[in-house]
């Protein structure tokens, strides 16, 4: 099969991972959630006292331990969903919790963290056939990706989606706190020095504020087929 690389970037909680996962399943590609990798590093820091009670990060220690922070993905045989593993332990649930969300932006702003994870992401996608979502996939990780999508939705819509998602899992949630977290992460992600969140010049924009899941899945599949046709002459 003629494979391409698909980069899906955008703001937090705008449904990137849902659409990326769905497309990967549909076309038989590997899905990689790059945000989960930054979350796993953050969880490691929280568990090991690298992030202090005041939120400060012991960057000297983290730099020294970075090589030993092993992050892998495995498909859960019961659900068919990808799970994130930190040093061999399934941390998929824990990395989605609020405590990790609150600390992940400053961790992901550290240049040495980004360098290490970008290298690993490039290894994951070396053979193409990958759908990766994140903030800098089309700009930094795979600047030559054949399909780049930049997803956006207004902040309240995104906060509402995250709130509903947490409540559906039975997790206590406060809408205003989630909205503040969404806005704060937008700010940090867009203004950090290394690989800030921005649309790649050649990315297609998808504002899904008013779209159903079915509509966005169809939109993405159409763009995938066009990108394959443009790259190889026809979709197969």
Adjacent-strand bridge partners of 81: none
Minimum CB separation from ligand DC for residue 236, in Å?
A: 30
- What is the contact surface with ligand DC in residues (CB under 6 A)? 12, 34-35, 38-39, 104-105, 108, 134-137, 185, 189
Q: Report residue 30: phi and psi, to 5°.
A: -85, 135
H-only helix segments in 111-212: 111-124, 155-168, 175-191
Three-class secondary structure of residue 86 per DSSP: strand
Q: Compare residues 29 and 158 and give the one whose CB is closer to ligand DC.
A: 158
Smaller CB separation from ligand DC, 16 or 228: 16
Q: Residue 34 Cβ, how far from ligand DC at the closest point, in Å?
A: 4
Choice between 5 and 228, CB closer to ligand DC: 5
Name residue, tokens 């969880």: 43
Neighbours of 191 (CB within 10 A): 10
Look at residue 70 and give its three-state secondary structure: coil
The CA distances from residue 61 to 68, 86, 89, in Å, are 12, 18, 22
Cβ proximity to ligand DC: between 104 and 228 the closer is 104
Smallest gap from Cβ 100 to ligand DC, in A, equals: 8
Q: Which is nearer to ligand DC, 136 or 146 (CB)?
A: 136
CB of 23 to ligand DC, least distance (A): 16
Tracing tokens 């849902």 back to the chain, one arrives at: 18
CB of 156 to ligand DC, least distance (A): 17
The distance of closest approach from Cβ of residue 106 to ligand DC in the complex, given in angstroms and rounded to an integer, is: 9
Q: Which residues of 199-236 are buried (b: 16+ CB within 10 A; e: fewer)?
A: bbeebbebebeebeeeebbebbeebbeebbeebeeeee
Given the structure tokens 């205003």, which residue do they identify? Answer: 176
- Residue 46 or 228: the one with the smaller Cβ distance to ligand DC is 46
């Amino acid at each position: 099969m003629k494979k391409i690389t698909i980069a899906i970037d955008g703001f937090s909680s705008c449904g990137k991972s849902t659409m990326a996962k769905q497309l990967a399943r549909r076309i038989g590609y590997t899905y990689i959630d790059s945000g989960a990798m930054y979350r796993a590093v953050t969880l490691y820091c929280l568990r090991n006292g690298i992030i202090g009670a005041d939120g400060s990060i012991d960057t000297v220690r983290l730099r020294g331990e970075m090589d030993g922070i092993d992050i892998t993905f495995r498909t859960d045989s019961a659900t068919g969903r990808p799970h994130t593993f930190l040093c061999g332990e399934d941390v998929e649930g824990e990395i989605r919790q609020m405590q990790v969300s609150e600390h992940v932006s400053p961790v992901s702003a550290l240049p040495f963290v980004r360098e290490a994870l970008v290298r690993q992401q490039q290894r994951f996608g070396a053979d193409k056939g990958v759908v990766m979502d994140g903030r800098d996939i089309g700009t930094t990780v795979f600047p030559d990706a054949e399909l780049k999508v930049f997803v956006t939705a207004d902040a309240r819509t995104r906060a509402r989606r995250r709130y509903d998602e947490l409540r559906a899992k039975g997790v206590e949630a406060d809408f205003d706190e989630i909205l503040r977290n969404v806005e704060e992460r937008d700010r940090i992600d867009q203004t950090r020095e290394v690989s800030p969140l921005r649309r790649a010049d050649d990315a297609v924009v998808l504002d899904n504020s008013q779209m159903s899941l079915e509509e966005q899945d169809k939109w993405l599949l159409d763009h995938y087929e066009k990108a394959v046709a443009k790259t190889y002459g026809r979709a197969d």
